[in-house]
Structure 1
C-alpha cells in the first residue's frame, strides 16, 4: 500500500522544523559574540528548545484538540514562522531565548498533529511507513538541514540562518495548505480531553513511553560524543568527522526506511529486533573504536540499527491510544526529548569521571539493554491485554506478532 503524497508534504515540514533544533550548535561562537554572552549561555538556547518541545507538545495538543487538524498545522506553522522572524531580529539574548521557546512549542504542536494526520490518511497496512516518512524528515534535517543552516550562518551571519529557515517554513506551509486535505485527521466523534487523558491510566502507554525515552537516551549518550571518539580514539582527522557523521545520517535514513516496512508487519518485531541490533552494534563500536576503518563502519551500522526502531516506537503509541491519539503522540514527542536530555548528560558524566571517550558507547549499549527489557515487558503486557479482549469476546489487535 502506498503512502499518500500529503504525508510527504508533512515530512518536508518536519525537515524544516528539525533543522532549527540543532542548527545553532555550530553557530554558538557567533551568537555569543554578537549578543555578548558566554558560549555556555548560548548553549542554553539548545536546551530551551528541548524543554519547550517537552512541555509544549502535550500542552498544545490539549489546547488545540477540538480544532480542525489542518487548521492546527497551519497555525503551528505560522507561530513557527513568527518565532524565527523574532529570532532573526532579536536585539538581545533574552528575546532570542523567548523566540526559541516559541518555536519549540510550535514544533511540538505540529509534530503531534502531523503524526495523527499521517496515520489517518494512510492505509492500515502502511501506517508505520507513513510515520517513517515523518521521522525521515527529521533525519534528513540532521544530515542536510543542520550542516546547511550552520554553513549559511557562518558565511552570512547567524541571523541569516534563521531567515533561511523562516523562508523554508513559508514554502512548506503553502504546500500543507494546498495538498493536505481539509478534513485530514478528522475523527468520527468530536475529541474530548478526558478520552485523551484516559489512555494514561493503563500500564501499556507508560511502557511505550519508557521504551522511547530509554532508546533515545541510549542513542544520544553515544552520538553526542562521536566526534572526540573518532578523533582521539579512532585516530580520524578532525576535518573528516563531518563526513563520518553524514555517513551515520545515511545509515539512519536507511534504517528508518527498512524499519517502517518491518513495523507494518509486526511492531514488536521491529522494536525488539532494533534494540537487540543497537546493543550489538554499540558493543562492536566500543570494541573496534581503536581502528579508524572499524569505527567508521560501526558508526554507520549504529545509524542503521538504532533508527530502524523509530517507526515502531511511534506506531506503538497509536495502537495503545486507539481513538484518542493526539495527546499520547505529543507525550511520546516529549519522551524523545527526555532521552535527548538524559543521554548527553549521562555520557558526559562518564567522560568527566575519567573513563574516556569509549565509556559513553558502553553506556549506550547498557541503556539499549534497559530499553530492550522495557520493550519485552511491554510485549508481555500486550499479550495479556489481547488475551483479556478475547476472553470478553472483543477482537484483539494484531500488534504482538513477531
Structure 2
C-alpha cells in the first residue's frame, strides 16, 4: 500500500469570514439533510396513502442513498478538476430540481424516480460542502468546524422536520418538499452572489497529475484511505439499520400518534443542536478519537431501549429520543473530522465524493436489509424484529471505535 506525500495547506483563505462561510455551508447542508430526513417521519403517512409495505417504504429511502452513492462515485472522477464554487452551484441546482420533482410526484413510482434524481445531485453537493470545510479550516480547528456544519442535522430535526410534518398534516405530504425547493432556491442565489471561488486545490496540480483513474487508483491503493472508508461503513451501518424505521415503530409499537412525531424530532433535534458544537470543541481539545469513543458509548443505551420498547409514556420516549440524537448523531462530528483528515488536500474532493458514495451505498443497503428483516404484523399492525436491527447497530458501532483508531491524520 502506498503512502501519501506531504501536502501543505494550499487552499487560500476565503473572502468571507470563516464563521460566516461555515454558517452558509451549514444552511446548504440543512436543505440536503431535511430533504433526506423528512422522508423517514413521513413513513407512516406514505405507507397509509400509497398502501405500501415496510420493504417498499425502505426502497424510497434506499433509492435516494443508492443514487447518491453512484453519483458520488462518478463525482470522484471530476470534482477536483473544478472550482469548488462552480461544482457546488451545478450540483445544488440539480438537487433543487430533483426535490421539485418530489414535490410534484403524483404516485409512489413517480416519487421513487424523483428520489433517485434528488439523491444523485444532493449526494455530490453534500460531499462538496464537507470538502470545502476540509480545504479552508486548519486541522487543529476542523472538528469544531465540522460541529458547526453537522449542527445542520440537528437544526433540520428541531426546525425543518417538525415544520415539514406539520405542513404535511395540514395540507399534504408534498408540502415539505415545496418548502425545501423555496429555501434551496434562495440559498442557490446567495451562493452565486457571495460564495468565494476556491481554486487552491487546482493550483496544487492535482487536476493535472491526478487524472480521474490515477486519482482513484491513488486513493484505493492507500491503506489509510481504505481504513477510513471501512470506518465510514461501520459508522453508517450502526445508524441506518434503525433510523428509517424509527417513526413507524414509534407509531405501531410504542403507541404514538402521527401527530406526536414532530415533538420527537423537536426535542431530539434541539438537544443535538445544543450539543453538536460542544462535541466538536471537546474533540479539538481532548482528541477526536476520545470524543468519538465517548459518543459511541453514550449511543448504545438509547439504541437498545429504542429498538426494544413497547407501549411507553411520552415523557420517556422524549428522553430516549434526546439521548439518541445527542450521542448517535453526535458521533458523526468527531467521525467526520477523522475522515476528512485521512487524505491530503489535493485529493480531498475526490476522496469525499468516494467517501460519500460508500456512505450512501451502505445507508441504502442498511435500509433495504432492515426492510427485509422487519415485518408488519397483519393483525396488530406492530413492527416485528426491530430488536434484531438494534443488535446489529450496536455491534457495528462498537467495531467502528477500533477501526477509527487505525485512521491516521494526514492533513
TM-score of the aligned structures, taking structure 2 as reference length: 0.78
Name which of 372, 376, 381 aligns with 2:401: 372
Query: Is the deviation greater in 118-127 or in 6-15?
Result: 118-127
1:344-363 C-alpha deviation (Å, 9 max, x unpaired):
45555554499754443344
Name which of 225, 239, 247 aligns with 1:219: 239
Aligned partners of 1:274 and 1:308 also within 8 Å? yes
1:135-169 C-alpha deviation (Å, 9 max, x unpaired):
22133223322332343344344444433222211
Name which of 34, 37, 46 aligns with 2:61: 46
Aligned partners of 1:208 and 1:313 also within 8 Å? no
Please give the alpha-carbon distance, in whole angstroms, between the structure 2 residues aligned to 1:28 and 1:366.
26
Partner of 1:273: 294
1:253-308 C-alpha deviation (Å, 9 max, x unpaired):
34422221133232212223322332355346678877645554333222212222
The verdict on how the C-alpha distance between 1:38 and 1:233 changes in structure 2, with shifts beyond 3 A counting, is closer
Partner of 1:55: 70
What is the deviation of 1:122? 2.4
Higher RCO structure, 1 or 2 (CA under 8 Å, sep 6+)? 2
Please give the alpha-carbon distance, in whole angstroms, between the structure 1 residues aligned to 2:400 and 2:349.
24
Is 2:144 aligned against 1:129? yes
What is the deviation of 1:86? 3.8
How many residues end up aligned between the 2 structures? 379
What SS does structure 2 have at the residue aligned with 1:4? Answer: helix
1:369-392 C-alpha deviation (Å, 9 max, x unpaired):
22223334x25xx4xxxxxxxxxx
Cα-Cα RMSD: 3.5
Aligned partners of 1:118 and 1:130 also within 8 Å? yes
The verdict on how the C-alpha distance between 1:101 and 1:348 changes in structure 2, with shifts beyond 3 A counting, is closer
Is 2:138 aligned against 1:116? no
1:201-255 C-alpha deviation (Å, 9 max, x unpaired):
1222222222222222222333444446656766667654442343222333344
Q: Aligned runs of 1:344-355 on 2, under 5 Å?
A: 344-345=367-368, 347=370, 351-352=374-375
Partner of 1:334: 357
Please give the alpha-carbon distance, in whole angstroms, between the structure 1 residues aligned to 2:316 and 2:399.
26
The verdict on how the C-alpha distance between 1:283 and 1:97 changes in structure 2, with shifts beyond 3 A counting, is closer
Is 2:328 aligned against 1:306? yes
Query: Is the deviation greater in 138-147 or in 299-308?
Result: 138-147
Is 2:210 aligned against 1:195? no
Q: Aligned runs of 1:121-200 on 2, under 5 Å?
A: 121-183=136-198, 186-191=201-206, 192=210, 193=212, 194-200=214-220
Aligned partners of 1:221 and 1:361 also within 8 Å? yes
- Structure 1 residue ranges without an equivalent (≥5): 383-396
Aligned partners of 1:199 and 1:320 also within 8 Å? no
Q: Aligned runs of 1:242-257 on 2, under 5 Å?
A: 242-257=262-277
What SS does structure 2 have at the residue aligned with 1:275? Answer: helix
Name which of 282, 303, 307 aligns with 1:282: 303
- Structure 2 residue ranges without an equivalent (≥5): 1-16, 377-382
Aligned partners of 2:165 and 2:262 also within 8 Å? no
What SS does structure 2 have at the residue aligned with 1:39? Answer: coil
TM-score of the aligned structures, taking structure 1 as reference length: 0.79
What is the deviation of 1:12? 0.5
1:167-188 C-alpha deviation (Å, 9 max, x unpaired):
2111111222233212366453
